[in-house]
Structure 1
């Protein structure tokens, strides 16, 4: 068997329906994405570095799932997440003074830059995805932009990442319901709750505003 044939068989196996949930024929990829997404966010809430390897597994499962349902921006986002997860893994382990990075808070300047970039990023992605035949170009673009900004803040271990994840999840739930991905919509509803818990718990951790050295990377 050639490598392309083996790859095609693996994709077919991951997309094979296991059971039906509402209008959703749940596949191995979607079920595995459900489990790893929940585990990843729970580990983030606990502020443990192990969220990154679990998150990488989640990216691979969701890459297969989203590509098969023509949510191309979400699929491409998983590839970007792989690179960001690797960078975040290193940052959490070695990016702080004397070793592991501590939970901090974003500066007003960092937040202003991120919010200023969200609008043009969403506009460009919407136009690109419309041309590519994406199933929901604007909403897919908006959640992509929000998620990338949230991941950047998470990599820097800044509390404000939770606000952007919450905003993205509020859009993701109805988006996946419309696409017939009922289990994935349920995943994101649960993730929304977990993000609210994460925001509460991280806000209880005393942390100064991000130092200038970190701000310079914004």
Structure 2
């Protein structure tokens, strides 16, 4: 049985509304829109429920992206599921020695982390581009690879609650939106426009929380001295 045989039913009409047929792919896009938006909103609020919601979203997009021929993005969702398990654990057990709580605090990305992230992102983009170009029928190997690398970099930052992970997500979403429109995944493209706005909201929330943490840390020594 070929991949086309497995994915064929996803392209068949699921229901017809007002004379317009809607396929399983359209349904997956709609569910992805809702669960994805909810997940990003929960991340912005640093709510632990973002991880199980995100895993459900990843499963939906594995099917959607495979059907659209975005193989790197489909594989990326599988990696996201594994990273979600890691992120779920670090958010609840990452306070570290000397912390009054197990909850992971927001931090800035260190220079060392940036170095490794940029190197890994560049190598990943080049390697995936070559792989997709030679081993698949992808029509957008570079852009598929670039968004995959950016998303993995951003997910690492999200798992570790690094503030700059939002900037990486914004960069990825700016590429994702036109990429999905080009692949005629218009609802998914719209979803990523909404994601961009939610990421800006998340960046502001985490920046504010980081400022509060720093202010509280500065006040504690003063209170101890007094």
TM-score tier (shorter)? 0.7 to 0.9
Measured in 2, the distance between the counterparts of 1:138 and 1:29 equals: 25
* Residue of structure 2 equivalent to 1:151: 155
* Residue of structure 2 equivalent to 1:28: 27
The partner residue of 1:109 within 109, 112, 133 is 112
* Residue of structure 1 equivalent to 2:223: none
**161 and 136 in structure 1: CA distance in 2 versus 1, 3 angstrom threshold:** same
> Which of 105-114 and 190-199 deviates more?
105-114
Give the drift of 1:96. Answer: 1.4
* Residue of structure 2 equivalent to 1:213: none
The partner residue of 1:199 within 178, 192, 203 is 203
> Which of 183-192 and 88-97 deviates more?
88-97
Asked whether the equivalents of residues 45 and 201 of structure 1 are also in contact (C-alpha less than 8 Å), the reply is: yes
> Which of 100-109 and 149-158 deviates more?
100-109
Give the drift of 1:17. Answer: 4.7
* Residue of structure 2 equivalent to 1:179: 183
1:51 aligns with 2:50: yes
Larger RCO of the pair (alpha carbons < 8 Å, separation 6+): 1
Q: TM-score, normalised by structure 1?
A: 0.84
* Residue of structure 2 equivalent to 1:135: 139
Cα deviations across residues 95-135 of structure 1 (Å, max 9, x unaligned)?
21341111111111111211122111100000001112223
Q: Which has the larger radius of gyration?
A: 2
Give the drift of 1:14. Answer: 9.0
**179 and 92 in structure 1: CA distance in 2 versus 1, 3 angstrom threshold:** same
**19 and 153 in structure 1: CA distance in 2 versus 1, 3 angstrom threshold:** farther
What RMSD over aligned residues (CA atoms) do the two structures have, in Å?
2.3
Higher helix share: 2
Q: What secondary structure sits across from 2:107 in the alignment?
A: coil
Q: TM-score, normalised by structure 2?
A: 0.81
What runs of 5+ residues in structure 1 fail to find an aligned partner? Answer: 1-7, 209-218
* Residue of structure 1 equivalent to 2:219: none
**14 and 101 in structure 1: CA distance in 2 versus 1, 3 angstrom threshold:** farther
Asked whether the equivalents of residues 41 and 195 of structure 1 are also in contact (C-alpha less than 8 Å), the reply is: yes
Measured in 1, the distance between the counterparts of 2:37 and 2:146 equals: 22
**69 and 201 in structure 1: CA distance in 2 versus 1, 3 angstrom threshold:** same
